Structure 1
């Protein structure tokens, strides 16, 4: 992610549209804020009236008058209480709703990003951006317009009333405010930068914790718990130092405000006292004046205290926008139409590909035609481009040159949903979601009936072992399927693809990580799965693809050899060398066993 600092105005401009759905609530919230402000601003006027009237003619103040004023003020306090309740409850709910909308948008945007984004971004950072970074937005989205609106009303009203009491004294007081504002802005910027740094490091800390916890078996296997604790301690202490720097700026910020706060009171006491001695201000007016200055300073202090929350909110919004600004590389082109009645022919026309972050060519000018229902195997040394070639078909990446056709249609001109619905992928590293066996199989076609799920499991050779589990299809598989063996997880993933029933199938080393017995069972399932489908199989164990209709040998970003098993052996080229080296390795492994 870029660390470039965004301007506050830009952030607010990007954030404001989230208020649109809640315009009525916001208007009502600001109306209630104005009511509470009016109630607060009336008290000094009441005290001014009672003080001046008492000094001028105490007999004119009757009990009835005092009680009437008291009842009037009591009614204002009731109004203030009701308005404050609305602001505290409905206003906060609005903030939480905006946070929810932003998190929904962030998660939806993540679903559209290509593999390249996830290859270059830590999951811990992503998690921070869509969870903890948005927590502060709830308070910010509610309090920001409210606090500034109240501050505006109080400042304007205070200036008008104070000017009517003493224009000269008011001008002296308000001339100090710009100086205070400049000091505040400087420290505000420092606090904002500190909070941004703090948020970034929280993401790194999350990434460290996630990495260590997910790899906890490796940590324990190598007895490296102390190393992990030490690395975490370093990151944790660095986070403390970042927070220390943040609090330093916050303390300087607050102390500056207190100094100006005290300076204003000194000016009011000295100048106001002199004005009263010279008869320029009445005693009651001076009391009201001090109360309004107190109200003004309280308002400024609240804005200052809100500054921390404001900067937290700004930081959360900035990191949210950085996520939302991540480019969507793979998207539906304008006019893209859904695929229909897919037969499964695939054409690669002069296709080249390189990863955008390193620009090393992975595929170079590939020309290939695969007939509907044909079984094609891809072999070759690691890094030869086998997986990349297959990943281009469902558009996990787009070619940097050339085009790919499915049933004669450019896959860039069809909708992603229909394209990926037509392609099934079985990978070496199976991912099962935290949930039940049934839920993981049903993921292949959400909404499928229990009978359909069971039939898919039977076809995948998984039904019997599933029934042997504690709760059958309702068995909880654990996070990433940790409660199941590798072979069991693989057969569930195959059942998932059976349920999906795609016309095009990609098998990416689906059996390479399994033991011999599991490999045999999974291979039978894959054979049933590939029947009648266009199938691309990536394999290191060459004995598993001898019956393929065609075998492609990929190396150095191009297709070096092509033919069936017997034809390639007779050529005595790279396939011949690979096949013999693999056979020797497998025979050696059997002897050791």
Structure 2
């Protein structure tokens, strides 16, 4: 239950709705418990009238509610028994209508409040997702994250809505019923309430079991969701390797785990609810048996009306008390889900705005001063004592073996990670002193792993600049060398590209990703091996256009190729997180047995082989 205390801020925010809803619950139950008293009076009235003992007077009605007394005073003005019964029946019908009206208002306040809380909580979870850094997403599966924002939040909503409503309904119903039962007969009330402590013990032991099984179910559901999500996303790989049966068996195993946990919980609940009904039945039996004996022997002032009144009260308690199990299950499941949400929401991102961080208009000067960085999840030391100084407007190429730290430089510049030691400065200002949003807004980045959204081509390009017009979109696509292909699509720039750009080729996806970065017109632009899926001819066209586009911009191009059409101010060769070669193309070609020279010769040899093959 302690995990649900995190919901206090929401209850406070919607305190007016919550308080009003509780008031309507109380009113609804108040009008409900008046009916048994009227029934008691009518039965006693008819019984005494037919036995010629005389009707009771208002002075003998001290056990009745003040409103019921007024009703009795009104209906006893009629001399005919039939009229008294008729008017009393109409009043009971009116009380039922009033109860129904306030039940409607109760749901309109409490259930609607729960929907508002669900909306706020999903927004809070989504906001937290966006604030967390790369380390978190590397250690959590997409399926688990989706399950938290969907299934877990929905289960918490069941608590903030129906469960709260049932709890208040239970408390007010028991309070009103027991109060008027004691007013009517203390002795009979004691016998009727005997099964309730047994019920409390059952609830205590069963709830702990329900809570444990609920956590197991949520964990199994996360695994199942992850398995399904990965299968959907990787369906082409699954089919190409003919692994449908293997993936089906894997999914079946996860599904079987979830099924077993769900059935185990259902078995507990299957025993729980009939047990509650049995205890309610015992209370009804006590009412009839003991009340009947008191009535026969004229003891404790028990009348025929009193027995009927108690039977109605016990039946009124049937649903609220039987709902204890359902409500307990809702609360326990919500607690298990809220615990998972709290664990996630309490995570403080390692990369965040430092105190005093402020937006800065970047011009493009970049300095790495003795920077060191080790990936926290793997322990791999990616950058070692790294020093680099880039002037505004310089074009820098970065190459090297796989795993030499090239992509890590881009991630450090975007503050996807923070360096372990040393300092990164932009325009002579510590990168940690720059507001994160301002920093990333002013750096265009084309990642190695291209990601496109399930939207139109135009909206994917415009993602880099949401207010861009069609002319800007076309201009960016033209520089990226993809405009003609887009115009050849059936719907042009309005073409839907499918999830992760599944309807496009690898080269088309890369070039749309480049256009998305170019449209920002940032002072700093980083290309991370973004032309690997493009043929040599298209690559030359793109690099030719980029040469003019990058004139006044600081650009870092991470690549495994040598771009002869783009004039770089410097070329860096990285190995094990350090710069091992640095200089212009001509300077690096002069280094005996240098990495860059070998890379260039291999590339030229491959090009010549291709040309020979074409001949």
Q: Confirm or deny a common fold (TM above 0.5).
A: yes
Residues 1:261 and 2:280 are matched in the alignment: yes
Aligned to 1:513: 533
Aligned equivalents of 1:292, 1:461: Cα separation in 2: 79
Query: Secondary structure at the residue paired with 1:382?
Result: coil
Aligned to 2:327: 306
The Cα shift of 1:289 comes to: 2.0
CA contact under 8 A between 1:487 and 1:522: conserved in structure 2?
no
Q: Which digits, 9 at most, give the CA deviation of each residue in 1:357-388, with x for residues without a partner?
A: 23332222222211111122222221221111
Aligned to 1:321: 342
Equivalent residues in 2 for 1:120-159, closer than 5 Å? 120-159=139-178
Query: Secondary structure at the residue paired with 1:424?
Result: strand
Aligned equivalents of 2:554, 2:599: Cα separation in 1: 25
Q: Which digits, 9 at most, give the CA deviation of each residue in 1:249-302, with x for residues without a partner?
A: 222322432343344344434443444344123332222223222322332112
Aligned to 1:24: 16
The Cα shift of 1:56 comes to: 2.9
CA contact under 8 A between 1:553 and 1:561: conserved in structure 2?
yes
Bigger CA drift: 167-176 or 383-392?
167-176
Aligned to 1:497: 517
CA contact under 8 A between 2:20 and 2:109: conserved in structure 1?
no
CA contact under 8 A between 1:550 and 1:564: conserved in structure 2?
yes
Residues 1:250 and 2:269 are matched in the alignment: yes
CA contact under 8 A between 1:188 and 1:253: conserved in structure 2?
no
Equivalent residues in 2 for 1:68-87, closer than 5 Å? 68-87=87-106
* 1:178 alignment partner, one of 197, 207, 213: 197
Aligned to 2:65: none
Query: Secondary structure at the residue paired with 1:500?
Result: coil
Aligned to 1:449: 469
Residues 1:12 and 2:4 are matched in the alignment: yes
The Cα shift of 1:190 comes to: 1.5
The Cα shift of 1:543 comes to: 4.8
CA contact under 8 A between 2:193 and 2:283: conserved in structure 1?
no
CA contact under 8 A between 1:336 and 1:415: conserved in structure 2?
yes
* 2:591 alignment partner, one of 571, 582, 591: 571
The Cα shift of 1:393 comes to: 0.6
Aligned to 2:246: 227
Aligned equivalents of 1:339, 1:389: Cα separation in 2: 21
CA contact under 8 A between 1:44 and 1:291: conserved in structure 2?
yes
RMSD: 2.5
The Cα shift of 1:172 comes to: 4.5
Residues 1:561 and 2:553 are matched in the alignment: no
* 1:330 alignment partner, one of 351, 360, 380: 351
The Cα shift of 1:516 comes to: 2.6
Equivalent residues in 2 for 1:104-503, closer than 5 Å? 104-278=123-297, 279-280=299-300, 281-340=302-361, 342-503=362-523
Query: Secondary structure at the residue paired with 2:415?
Result: coil
Q: Which digits, 9 at most, give the CA deviation of each residue in 1:446-483, with x for residues without a partner?
A: 11222222222233333322222212222222222222
TM-score by length of 2: 0.88
* 2:39 alignment partner, one of 47, 55, 71: 47
CA contact under 8 A between 1:375 and 1:535: conserved in structure 2?
yes
Aligned to 1:524: 544
Aligned equivalents of 1:356, 1:277: Cα separation in 2: 82
CA contact under 8 A between 1:113 and 1:327: conserved in structure 2?
yes
Query: Secondary structure at the residue paired with 2:541?
Result: helix
CA contact under 8 A between 1:344 and 1:371: conserved in structure 2?
yes
The Cα shift of 1:567 comes to: 2.5
Aligned equivalents of 2:577, 2:584: Cα separation in 1: 21
The Cα shift of 1:90 comes to: 4.7
Aligned equivalents of 1:325, 1:217: Cα separation in 2: 37
The Cα shift of 1:239 comes to: 1.8
TM-score by length of 1: 0.92
Distance 1:545 1:537, change over 3 A: farther
Bigger CA drift: 484-493 or 406-415?
484-493
CA contact under 8 A between 2:372 and 2:386: conserved in structure 1?
yes
Query: Secondary structure at the residue paired with 2:383?
Result: strand
Structure with max Cα Rg = 2
Distance 1:506 1:360, change over 3 A: same
CA contact under 8 A between 2:18 and 2:109: conserved in structure 1?
no
* 2:48 alignment partner, one of 56, 74, 84: 56
Distance 1:521 1:240, change over 3 A: farther
CA contact under 8 A between 2:192 and 2:284: conserved in structure 1?
no
* 1:34 alignment partner, one of 26, 35, 39: 26
Q: Which digits, 9 at most, give the CA deviation of each residue in 1:195-250, with x for residues without a partner?
A: 22222222221211121121111112122222122222222222211211121222
Query: Secondary structure at the residue paired with 1:571?
Result: coil
Bigger CA drift: 574-583 or 392-401?
574-583
Distance 1:182 1:357, change over 3 A: farther
Distance 1:147 1:542, change over 3 A: same
Distance 1:581 1:561, change over 3 A: same
Distance 1:273 1:365, change over 3 A: farther
Aligned equivalents of 1:530, 1:171: Cα separation in 2: 88
Aligned equivalents of 1:97, 1:64: Cα separation in 2: 49
CA contact under 8 A between 2:481 and 2:538: conserved in structure 1?
no
Distance 1:510 1:372, change over 3 A: same
Q: Which digits, 9 at most, give the CA deviation of each residue in 1:511-536, with x for residues without a partner?
A: 12333334333333443443321111
Distance 1:157 1:423, change over 3 A: same
Point out where structure 2 has 5 or more consecutive residues left out of the alignment.
56-79
